[in-house]
Amino acid sequence: MAAATLSAADAEKLNNLKSAVAGLNHISENEKTGFVNLVARYLSGEAQHVEWSKIQTPTDEVVVPYESLAPAPHDPVETKKLLDKLVVLKLNGGLGTTMGCTGPKSVIEVRNGMTFLDLIVIQIENLNSKYGCNVPLLLMNSFNTHDDTLKIVEKYSSSNIEIHTFNQSQYPRLVVDDFSPLPSKGQTDKDGWYPPGHGDVFPSLKNSGKLDALLTQGKEYVFVANSDNLGAVVDLKILNHLVRNQNEYCMEVTPKTLADVKGGTLISYEGRVQLLEIAQVPDEHVNEFKSIEKFKIFNTNNLWVNLKAIKKLVEADALKMEIIPNPKEVDGVKVLQLETAAGAAIRFFDNAIGINVPRSRFLPVKATSDLLLVQSDLYILENGFVIRNKARTNPANPSIELGPEFKKVGNFLSRFKSIPSIIELDSLKVTGDVWFGTGVTLKGRVIIVAKPGVKLEIPDGAVLENKEINGPEDL
């Protein structure tokens, strides 16, 4: 406990909070302890300040180029041995609220009527069938997605995968004014609580009993990824490298483009590899952090972690990850959520590395503009894998900007009779009351801006190349 460094006022705040939390009967003792410890660390101001002059660019030993990895074993028996050490864990706590969906984001349909979760299950089923191995799938839910996910996974009951679900912690939101837990003020429904970020994956694995069960089965590594990242598939070369080199932790990073300038990056700092997030960067260095010259890579949040190392560190309460304060407002009350991120744990593991992977391993769907990309002919679906279409010669994806009319999945789907062909598209900007017919082809730079009050329909079979369209007369 960091109580020694607290001022008298903060120590009193913490004591009052402790008694209030003790009276909350919705959550477990582990959750109460975890929450109070997090708040104590926050109050003690132990935030780690990075000394800019000590930051070093990591060498190829620390951030290993993917091309330099040894090939995966050719022998199916060796491959089976390797895969039997593996568990796949998808972070499934997020709701599709940004895209206008209720329920877990992982059940949004991505391609051919299949959801994120369907694709993940098909991928692992194929691995298990091909090699006769047993790679289980774990879904870390939040209290927001738990009930829905349990219903959804029933449909996979006849598949050849063990599917386990467990919940990440449920912490009370903190009232900023008097530092009391919101639920103790009568706000006991979902609005009183929050899931404390994916850094919570490590203690939650342990507290749920899943970690010990997996170790008993002889599992050694967990591959953790966001459920909405379609590029995060099991990679035998990476697993093989980690097992051979006994790396306790590996973060997949990929080269930054101008779209990723805010993403966390890996640095060497005082002899350890660690994640540097934009929030830790002193104001005068933010532009330098965003430049793609000095910090060339960013964190994809695809992580490979040794299970025994997780157990050891969680039991020693050694994972003191940077705290991310997230201020919110609930019914006019200012509250604070303290969160942590799983990538920040890298500095606590021995022999931790990054691997600089191809961009194809980072294909997240955060908005309908991403959905347009993955539903289009830019990608094809093979055995549950969403694979880049070779017909596109430009290695970069087109940049797509859709107006608010397209923000919700339902609206997005109704405005496209079919998803246009975008193999030769460089950029697309669409705003206003625009509707697409079937079989539309977009090439080069296309801008479609409907004037206010005008319904603009792009006819079936239209081919638009390097065009700006503001009304029917421009078609």
pLDDT, one tens digit per residue, over 429-454 is 999 999 999 999 999 999 999 999 99
Examine the pLDDT at 102 and tell me if it is beyond 60: yes
Position 48 scores a pLDDT of: 65
- State the Cα–Cα distance between residues 266 and 436, nearest whole angstrom: 42
168 confidence band (pLDDT: 50, 70, 90):
very high
Q: Return mean pLDDT, the chain.
A: 94
Kindly state the tokens that stand for 277.
């997030």
The model's pTM is 0.94
Each residue's pLDDT tens digit, 288-302: 999 888 899 999 999
Q: What is the CATH number of domain 368-474?
A: 2.160.10.10
Enumerate the CATH 3.90.550.10 domain ranges in the chain, comma separated: 8-44+52-361
Enumerate the CATH 2.160.10.10 domain ranges in the chain, comma separated: 368-474
Least confident of 180-194, 225-239, 364-378: 180-194
Average pLDDT over residues 115-134: 96
| Percent of the chain clearing pLDDT 90 (strictly above) | 84
Examine the pLDDT at 372 and tell me if it is beyond 90: yes
Strand, coil or helix: 444: strand
- State the Cα–Cα distance between residues 145 and 95, nearest whole angstrom: 7
What distance lies between CA 154 and its chain's CA centroid?
24
Q: What is the CATH number of domain 8-44+52-361?
A: 3.90.550.10
Q: Using an 8 Å Cβ cutoff, are 61 and 196 in contact?
A: no
Q: Residue 306, exposed/middle/buried by CB under 10 A (0-12, 13-18, 19+)?
A: buried
